[in-house]
């Protein structure tokens, strides 16, 4: 037997491990199973090159809970260790970076996630165990088994063991504050979270499997069953295979494996497979999108060599793609460092721009090869593409070829096609192309119809960030502007040379304005008298484009914030068509009561068409309308 002190000059290393990593102490299982996997894969390599004269066989890793004895056993059939190797790897190497870690991470160790980074993976066991034993036997011929034991102080014992087979068994004597890890359900949850796709089969208990009935069985006879190993992982997940070896069904099946509670199929997938200038594999899926940007995030899972690391992939995946789902696996991502370091890391930036390019290329090929299908999916994916166009200039350039602009009639145009289609009719006197859009087909119906009557195209742009995107398009493209159909009277939105002449004299206009302002007491309405076609509406309510857009942009973050517009009341223009006969009748009505009733009724009709007439005012309007038709 030999005893000794672990080679570390800082006596309080164990309290530090426990203190700094306490918030994430469930990762002990991930670390120990990763070590067991490494030990098994090392043996596979040595047998393949003829250095290990043993049968590799079909090794597995087994996790067992001994609830009564308050122990967890993790056993592998890998390379094992000799006495000298235990001394070297467990007593010395594990703490080779400990002092550096203490000096460097005294303040931020919790964020740095030091486990694994400094060879401390094995020692994560002491976050949940008051005592740890290693029973191991090397694959080497004639090697004797050894048993290492440590109670969480720097003192250990090393004695001859009794292990018969090669490999290593870690025995954790669980501490009083960590008894949750003696529950099957908790260990099962962790194995599913961290080890679901590890490359060596992991056994956790047994399960009952139903066998097919014998041919001569009666209908009421129960199907035979058998007890089999409960293997919790899929050692060969789809992303580790070549795209040429996978069918569409394989990708869909893997999606269900990743997200068993998702019932909707993904719209399409992108298989990532790159080995230069960095290693990266993975599969990204476009799910059906909602308009709520926040609920979508943190669905992509990040792995390092098939070990789950996190589903917070910010910094590695461009932000606009964090709404996708799927897996990214890369050994080149520095995992055990802070977020700010990660975002500044050169390799990570390259990975991020590669993913952006790959997604843009896939979308472009989908658009080119099956445009009809792409158009059908547009509403479900547009939020990601619009977000990408806003946040990544390189993506904006590529997306310009396939981003679609749907009209209220369900036609789809690329920006170039749209320009070509409307330049004849929707270019104003200053040679600026005015793109009309609606955000709600129902509430803006009358405005849409008025625009269509003039032969104008009206886009349907209804995503929550569209205001920001229009701003970007207006600044990045020359001589274009977007205007919502209810932002002003059409003749003002697309100003042509020929201006209408008003039927009213200046004096009559003054009188009319005074009459209107006596009835309209609401300060959020500004009265504007305009000479328009006599068959255009007599009263139209519009919202100034700039003010409304700034308010909307501030509500979805950014934009109008600097103008402090988010909290401003809504402002409307009441445009009165001086050439309409109803307006003439209001002006010529002799009795004040009748004039006021005509004005009130007309304004309420305009408000009704804008969706602004509600509550008591709507009730009064209906009552007044019935009185008028009696």
User: Which residues are annotated as part of the binding site?
Assistant: 31, 35, 76, 81, 96-97, 168, 339
Write the secondary structure of 562-630 as one string of H (helix), E (strand) and C (coil): HHCCCCCCCCEEEEEECCCHHHHHHHHCCCHHHHHHHHHHHHHHHHHHCCCCCHHHHHHHHHHHHHHHC
Q: How far apart are CA 573 and CA 541, in angstroms?
A: 6
Find out whether 118 and 96 touch, Cβ atoms under 8 Å.
Answer: yes
Q: List alpha helices for 289-436, DSSP H.
A: 339-344, 346-369, 371-391, 393-399, 415-422
Going by C-alpha positions, the residue among 114, 109, 133 that lies closest to residue 124 is: 114
Binding residues for ATP: 31, 35, 76, 81, 96-97, 168, 339
- Long-range CB contacts (< 8 A, 24+ apart) of 402-407? 402/363, 402/364, 402/366, 402/367, 402/368, 402/374, 404/374, 404/375, 404/378, 405/459, 405/461, 406/378, 406/379, 406/459, 406/460, 407/457, 407/458, 407/459, 407/460
Packed helices 581-588 and 592-609: angle between N→C axes, nearest 10 degrees: 150
Find out whether 284 and 254 touch, Cβ atoms under 8 Å.
Answer: no
Find out whether 239 and 325 touch, Cβ atoms under 8 Å.
Answer: no
Our CA angle for 247, 253, 256, nearest 5°, is 150
Q: CA 237 → CA 270, 311, 378, 433, 497, distances in Å?
A: 15, 17, 30, 51, 66
């Amino acid at each position: 037997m030999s005893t000794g002190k672990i080679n570390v000059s800082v006596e309080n290393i164990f309290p530090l491990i426990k203190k700094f990593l306490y918030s994430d102490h469930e990762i002990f299982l991930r670390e120990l199973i990763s070590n067991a996997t490494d030990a098994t894969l090392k043996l596979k390599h040595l047998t393949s090159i003829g250095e290990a004269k043993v049968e590799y066989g079909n090794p597995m890793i087994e996790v067992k809970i001994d609830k009564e004895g308050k122990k967890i056993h993790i056993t592998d059939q890998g390379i094992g260790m000799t006495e000298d190797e235990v001394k070297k790897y467990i007593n010395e190497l594990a703490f080779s970076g400990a002092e550096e870690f203490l000096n460097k991470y005294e303040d931020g160790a919790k964020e740095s996630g030091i486990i694994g980074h400094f060879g401390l993976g094995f020692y994560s066991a002491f976050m949940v165990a008051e005592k740890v034993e290693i029973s191991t036997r090397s694959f080497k011929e004639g090697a004797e088994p050894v048993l290492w034991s440590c109670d969480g102080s720097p003192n250990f014992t090393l004695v001859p063991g009794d292990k018969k087979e090669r490999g290593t068994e870690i025995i954790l004597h669980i501490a009083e504050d960590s008894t949750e890890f003696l529950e099957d359900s908790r260990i099962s949850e962790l194995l599913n979270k961290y080890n679901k796709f590890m490359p060596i089969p992991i056994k956790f208990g047994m399960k009952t499997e139903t066998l097919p009935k014998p041919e001569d069985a009666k209908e009421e006879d129960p199907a035979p069953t058998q007890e089999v190993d409960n293997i919790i992982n899929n050692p060969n997940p789809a992303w580790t295979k070549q795209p040429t070896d996978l069918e569409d069904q394989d990708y869909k099946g893997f999606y269900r494996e990743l997200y068993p509670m998702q019932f909707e199929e993904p719209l399409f997938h992108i298989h990532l497979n790159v080995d230069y200038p960095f290693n990266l594999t993975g599969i990204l899926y476009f799910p059906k999108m909602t308009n709520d940007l926040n609920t979508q995030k943190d669905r992509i899972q990040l792995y390092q060599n098939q070990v789950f690391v996190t589903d917070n992939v910010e910094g590695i995946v461009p932000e606009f793609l964090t709404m996708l789902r799927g897996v990214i696996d890369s050994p080149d991502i520095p995992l055990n460092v802070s977020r700010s370091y990660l975002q500044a890391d050169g390799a990570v930036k390259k990975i991020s721009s590669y993913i952006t390019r790959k997604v843009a290329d896939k979308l472009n090929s989908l658009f080119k090869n099956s445009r009809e299908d792409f158009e059908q999916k547009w509403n479900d994916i547009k939020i990601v593409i619009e977000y990408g166009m806003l946040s990544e200039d390189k993506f904006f350039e590529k997306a310009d070829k396939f981003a679609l602009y749907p009209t209220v009639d369900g036609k789809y145009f690329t920006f170039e096609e749209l320009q070509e289609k409307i330049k004849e009719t929707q270019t104003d006197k200053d040679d600026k192309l005015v793109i009309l859009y609606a955000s709600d087909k129902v509430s803006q119906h009358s405005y849409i119809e008025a625009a269509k009557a003039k032969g104008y195209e009206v886009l349907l742009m209804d995503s929550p960030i569209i205001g920001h995107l229009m701003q970007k398009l207006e600044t990045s493209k020359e001589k274009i502007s977007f205007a919502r159909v209810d932002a002003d009277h059409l003749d003002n939105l697309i100003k042509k040379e020929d201006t209408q002449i008003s039927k009213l004299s200046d004096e009559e206009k003054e009188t009319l304005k005074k009459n209107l302002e006596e009835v309209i007491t609401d300060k959020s309405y500004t009265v504007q008298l305009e000479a328009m076609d006599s068959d255009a509406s007599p009263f139209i309510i519009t919202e100034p484009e700039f003010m409304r857009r700034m308010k909307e942009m501030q509500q979805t973050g950014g934009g109008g914030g600097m103008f402090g517009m988010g909290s401003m009341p809504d402002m409307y223009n009441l445009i009165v068509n001086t050439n309409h006969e109803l307006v003439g009748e209001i002006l010529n009505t002799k009795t004040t009561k009748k004039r006021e009733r005509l004005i009130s009724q007309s304004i309420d009709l305009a408000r009704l068409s804008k969706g602004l007439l509600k509550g008591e005012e709507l009730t009064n309007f209906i009552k007044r309308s019935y009185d008028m038709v009696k």
